[in-house]
Chain A
Amino acid sequence: MGEMTQRDLTQSDLTQAEAEPLLEITLRVNGVMHSASAPARRLLSDFLRHDLRLTGTHVGCEHGVCGACTVLMDGTPMRSCLMFAVTAQDHEITTVEGLAGSVDGTGPLAMSPVQQAFIECHGLQCGFCTPGFLTTITAYLHENSEPTEAEAREAISGNLCRCTGYQNIVRSVLRAAEISRERGVGA
């Protein structure tokens, strides 16, 4: 098959490797300013996960279909695998890491109503798609705090889950709305 194609580099090659130009990207995530250097083409999902090390946001398909990477941008669900990190700079980003304790102020680790509902209703199995559901539902309940079962099902119909068959996620949506009412707060 021709020449030796392998090129093992030494450690100094590694550190000297010059990549494409880097930009200093600053994002406000979960209320905190974060800065990191990344190329212009860095996807928001990769920037959150690998540059900011906020690995709660997951990537399931890399083309905006599965919804696992959904984050909230100024409160609106957004597929973080479909946008560049640089374009998110002027927005307020909320990831799954920012949901707990973000609402009712009873303590830093208090689950949000949606998180609590997922635990109570067995709304997750492997948990990989879950962050995208949690962010999506959190935003949805701000719009519709008392959904019917049919509305709850429709609300999650843009996210894929391969484990649960969705039934307990639908229940979780309804339960989250109920918990919000019990706590007297939003989702």
Chain B
Amino acid sequence: MTTKLFGAPVQRREDPRLVTGNGRYLDDLGQGALAAAFVRSPFAHARILDIDVTAAIEIPGVVAIYTHEDLDGRTGERLPLLIPHPSLTNPMTAYCLAREVVKHVGEAVVMVVATDRYVAEDACERIKVDYEQLPVVVGLEASRAAGKLVHAEAPGNVSAHMVQEVGDTAAAIAAAPHRMTLSLQIERSASMPMEGKGVYARWDSAEQSIRMYSSTQTSTGVRAAVAAKLGMALVKVECIAPDVGGGFGVKILHPWPEEVLIPWAARRLDAEVKWVEDRREHFISSAHERAQLQDVEVGFDDVGRVLGLSVTFWHDNGAYTPYGIIVPIITSTQLLGPYKLGAYRVEFFSMYTNTVMVTPYRGAGRPQGVYAMERTMDAIADYLGLDRTDVRSANFIQVADMPYDHGLLFQDGRPLIYDSGDFPASLAKLKALVGWDDFSAYRAKAELAGRKVGLGIGCYVEGTGVGPYEGGHIQIETSGRVNVSTGLTSQGQGHQTVFAQIVADELGVPIDDVFVTTGDTRRFAYAVGTFASRAAVMSGNAIALAARNVREKALRIAGEALEVDPGDLEIVDGIVRVKGDYESSIALATVAVLSNPLRYAFDESAKAATQFVGTGNADLSRPPVAEGDEPGLEGKDYYSPPRATFANGMHAAIVETDPETAEITILRYCVVHDCGRMINPMIVEGQVHGGVAQGVGGALYERMVYDEAGQLLNASFMDFLMPYATEVPHIETDHLETPSPLNPLGIKGAGEAGTIPVSAVIASAIEDAEGFPITSMPISPDELWNLRRQHAEGIIPDLRRGSRSVGTTTETAQTAPPAPTNPPAPTAPIV
């Protein structure tokens, strides 16, 4: 038998191309194309009074200059609201080019097309736009104060207000033996892929069609949106995602203004046009995520069981809401983590600000939800003087509870039902990995040496593989080459490898014969996209099902050729053979020849399928292609799950905080991860590493610093601090494989997992090191230094430190007065 590839750390098939400089990213294409550049708003909120392009027109090489007035048909209308929701009562989307007003710094106002990007940017510099500045709303506090409005259409700056509740939460909290409140904050970060966005479009005037390339996470989505905007038949628009230099969520939004404008200009100019986002553009005109204010009220019993949890949060959605309220919905549902609560109420307000809009960034609302829940778990442990893991254990959903229905609706509009997971087992692995029970001894030793160290923990559950569907198509050529295609896109996840592993196993062919194409609407036109850790689950299963169809057909044709029952056949290394009789065999390549009855032999092997060959055996009363059959050895299938599958994980970190400088160093970072059956553990580990690194960035370094005028002050890699190798700890991992019962391969998504709990874990560890509550993330050394000062002045209370000596100090805590960990939350000033 062939070695099974599913589950093996197969080296990536993408890599030889990528390490030799032979990748084909967006800006590597269209070398002769005209180049576009944009004049973008320098103000966060302003009325456009006049646009003077006179000085720009004179520049040699300028081909066209467009403002909103030039946009014809539906290109002049607002961009689509991609995900409407009944709670999103005041949705707002932008225009491709600003019409009359701008709502954030960076909004596109004028597009210049020129022979060269340098010339296009020269022209942008010479275009004069007169603005009348309008009042600016920056930050959630200002937004919910609603003294100024971002959109007149959205009273109180509220785009959406939503409540979900299971049980009678107020009553459960009121009746609980213990109660506390927390007020929490988390700031903005962003996906920040190394390659920004980019669009390249070719108009074919003879065919009246467009072929466009976009650095996108959904080529089918872009295609449909562009066809709609340009008033073209879908069949006349092709969209291809070439090699994409990272996405992390920001490229799932579509159509970006440029994705409409570039093909529009290409058609109008009858030319090839390309736009490649520069880094500053990416900062000020793409999307950010994360910022929330959270008020938590919790009632719990003596062992830390949560009897009632009520969370109200305010989510900063920036200036527009084209992606709907997916991020806050995810926060509100995934907040629950691995826990079974007595009653739960969540209420959120999605708020407008005059800043770059908010769309999903790796984790997509989960880091905030996990942060709220895990800060709460730590606070309960501290209050009761219990070990933090014991409080979590007391609340865990047990294996016997699976599938577990939370009674809420998830981000896909379907019930929030966990399919599988073994949380006690995951926690046991994590405690062993990090040495949880030995930490107090380690800390004691460190303290003797004058060092401050802390241990933190965070648990999460991640809904992955949301629908509605993905598909897979497999075609075996007469050479034996196996072509696989699926519509969703790739941004470095190794799809060409993992999907080939699946097909090689299912079909019984060498992996070197399998060639995977993703994100090309010419090859597969039905797809949703790559987000929500869904590619392996959705396309992986669809491709497996398609492979099973192809295998069945291959066995049937081979059975006829070998005159044996297909059930007696197997396929090994691309050869169909009778089990136990290896002499009786036929190559899959030959089966492909036979699958397509021919009149014309195009090569030597094709002769076998022509009409005068083999007629001795043929039943001449039957048509060459039987009823219900199709020529060709190919097959297609779709995977559409009833609901998401839920992966989970638990992280722990040991940090050291410098007693003098408050510098924060992560000494150890441990991950236990359960994404069901792993197709390729090497790739899963890579996803975890990268996710944790982004989480570390979000916990300690990255934030979007807006001033009160709405200027993004750190819109460059010099000032927005993404972690280098020296900032990311070595990550220790262990895996649990709890298969999903929902899909044929038993897999769950892994893409976002690493990022999700990191802010919670680091906050937990710093709090443990410092002895006072950490309620705002990210945290920098100077912020920690200031917290220490406030703590010394008595402004910030001590932790009760009941949890400090692991599992032994319940008595200590009981002697201290019961007090809320944090000051009570302010009453929400929402109108």
User: Given contacts A7-B65, A97-B21, are A127 and B14 in contact (CB under 8 A)?
Assistant: yes
Listed from nearest, the 9 A-B pairs whose CB atoms lie closest are A56-B21, A126-B492, A128-B245, A165-B689, A165-B693, A127-B18, A125-B492, A55-B28, A65-B717
Dominant SS at the A interface? loop
Q: Quick check: is A164 within 8 A (CB to CB) of the other chain?
A: yes
Taken together as a complex, chains A and B put the C-alpha atoms of A160 and B693 apart, in Å, by: 11
Closest to B70 in A: A6
B780 → chain A closest CB, angstroms? 19
Instruction: Please name the residue on chain A nearest to B697 by beta carbon.
Output: A162
Q: Which of B714-731 contact A (CB under 8 A)?
A: 716-718, 722, 724-726, 728, 730-731
Asked whether B268 is an interface residue with its Cβ less than 8 Å from the other chain, the reply is yes
Report yes or no: B244 in contact with A56, Cβ–Cβ below 8 A. no
Residues on A facing B (Cβ under 8 Å)? 1-2, 4-9, 13-14, 17-19, 39, 41-42, 49-50, 53-63, 65-66, 68, 95-97, 99-100, 111, 115, 118-120, 122, 124-131, 134, 153-154, 156-170
Which of B187-195, B343-351, B738-746, B769-777 is near enough to bind chain A? B187-195
Q: A99-B20, A125-B494 provided; 15 other pairs, C-beta below 8 A?
A: A1-B67, A1-B69, A2-B50, A6-B70, A9-B269, A17-B63, A63-B717, A96-B20, A96-B21, A119-B12, A125-B493, A128-B492, A162-B693, A164-B693, A165-B754
CB-defined contacts of B116 to chain A, threshold 8 Å: 19
Question: Which residue, of A9, A160, A162, has the highest number of chain B Cβ atoms within 10 A?
Answer: A162
Closest B residue, CB atoms, query A161: B194
B residues in contact with A55, CB < 8 Å? 21, 23-25, 27-28
Is B628 on the interface with A (CB-CB < 8 A)?
Answer: no
Asked if residues B716 and A63 are in contact (CB atoms below 8 Å), the reply is yes
Chain A residues, CB < 8 A from B50: 1-2
Are B18 and A162 in touch, CB under 8 angstroms? no
Residues 1-38 of B, flagged 1 when their CB comes within 8 A of A and 0 if not, give: 00000000001101110111111110110010010000
- Chain B residues with Cβ below 8 Å from A63 are 279, 716-718
With A165-B693, A165-B728: A126-B722 Cβ-Cβ less than 8 Å: no
Docked CA distance A99–B16 (Å): 12
Segment touching A, from B53-61, B230-238, B464-472, B593-601: B53-61
Q: Which of chain A's residues has its CB closest to B49's CB?
A: A1
Residues on A with C-beta less than 8 A from B716 are: 61, 63, 65
Alpha-carbon distance between A55 and B278 when the two chains are bound, in angstroms: 17
- B350 CB, nearest partner CB in chain A, Å: 27
Q: Is B145 an interface residue (CB 8 A)?
A: no
Given A19-B115, A61-B717, A160-B722: A128 and B19 within 8 A (CB)?
A: no
Q: Chain A's nearest CB lies how many Å from the CB of B198?
A: 11
Contact of B21 with A162 in the complex, beta carbons under 8 Å = no
Query: Which of B15, B34, B725 touches A156 (beta carbons < 8 Å)?
Result: B725
Query: A163 touching B690 by the CB < 8 A rule?
Result: yes
Cα–Cα distance between A120 and B193 once the two chains are bound (Å): 24
Q: Mark B62-93, 1 if CB is under 8 A from A, else 0.
A: 11111111100000000000000000000000
Total B residues in contact with A, Cβ cutoff 8 Å: 79
In the complex, A98→B14 CA distance in Å? Answer: 19
Docked-complex contact B15 and A119, CB < 8 angstroms: yes
Contacts of A13 in B (CB 8 A): 63
Contact indicator per residue, chain B 675-691, by CB within 8 Å of chain A (1) or not (0): 00000001101100111
Given that A1-B67, A62-B278, A158-B724 are known contacts, is A163 also in contact with B246, CB under 8 Å in the complex? yes
> Is B64 a contact partner of A128 (Cβ separation < 8 A)?
no
The answer for the CA separation of A134 and B22 in the assembled complex, in Å, is: 14
State whether B64 touches A58 (Cβ < 8 A).
no
Q: Is the CB of A126 within 8 A of B491?
A: yes
Assembly CA distance A6 to B728 (angstroms): 49
B768 at the interface (CB under 8 A from A): no
Residue of B nearest to A98 (CB): B21
| A8-B268, A127-B492 given; A56·B245 CB < 8 A | no
Please report the C-alpha to C-alpha distance between residue A158 and residue B723 in the assembled complex, in whole angstroms: 10
Contacts known (A9-B64, A17-B60, A125-B690); A66 close to B69, Cβ less than 8 A: no
A141 to B728: give the CA distance in the assembly, Å.
22
B728 to A128, Cβ gap below 8 A? no
Interchain nearest-CB distance for B733 vs A (Å): 10
Asked if residues A125 and B20 are in contact (CB atoms below 8 Å), the reply is no
Please indicate the chain B residues that have their CB under 8 angstroms from the CB of A160 in the complex.
Answer: 194, 717, 722, 724
Of B24, B28, B690, which is in contact with the most chain A CB atoms at under 10 Å from its CB? B690
Q: A127-B14, A127-B245, A165-B693 are in contact. Are A14 and B115 (CB under 8 A)?
A: yes
In this complex, the member of B63, B271, B694 whose beta carbon has the largest number of chain A beta carbons within 10 angstroms is: B63
Q: Is B248 an interface residue (CB 8 A)?
A: yes
* CA gap between A58 and B215 in the complex, in Å: 15
Separation of A1 and B754 alpha carbons in the complex (Å): 49
- B692–A128 touching, CB < 8 Å: no
With beta carbons under 8 angstroms apart, the residue of A4, A59, A126, A161 that contacts B69 is A4
Shortest C-beta distance, A161 to chain B (Å), equals: 7
B19 touches A162 (CB 8 A): no
Docked complex Cα distance between A102 and B724 (Å) = 29
Across-interface contacts of A5 in B (CB, < 8 A): 51, 53, 65-67, 69-70, 110
Across-interface contacts of B685 in A (CB, < 8 A): 122
Offer 19 A-B interface pairs, CB within 8 angstroms, sorted by A: A2-B52, A4-B70, A5-B110, A14-B34, A14-B115, A17-B63, A50-B31, A55-B24, A58-B194, A119-B12, A119-B16, A124-B492, A125-B493, A127-B14, A128-B25, A128-B195, A163-B690, A165-B694, A166-B693
Residues of B within 8 A of A66 (CB): 194, 717
Q: Which of B14, B18, B730, B754 gathers the greatest number of chain A CB atoms within 10 Å?
A: B18
Q: Contact: B725 with A122, CB < 8 Å?
A: no
Give the CA-CA distance A164 to B376 in the complex, in Å.
31
Q: Which chain B residue lies CB-closest to A160?
A: B722
B520 at the interface (CB under 8 A from A): no
Give complex CA distance A165, B52 in Å: 47
Point out the residue from B21, B686, B724, B730 that lies within 8 Å of A125, measured CB to CB.
B686
Q: What residues on A are CB-neighbors of B562 within 8 Å?
A: none
List residues of chain B with CB within 8 A of the CB of A159.
724-725
Min CB–CB distance B774 → chain A (angstroms): 23
Contact across chains for A131 and B21 when beta carbons are under 8 A apart: yes
A60, A99, A158: residue with the most chain B Cβ atoms closer than 10 Å: A60
Min CB distance, A58 to chain B, in Å? 7
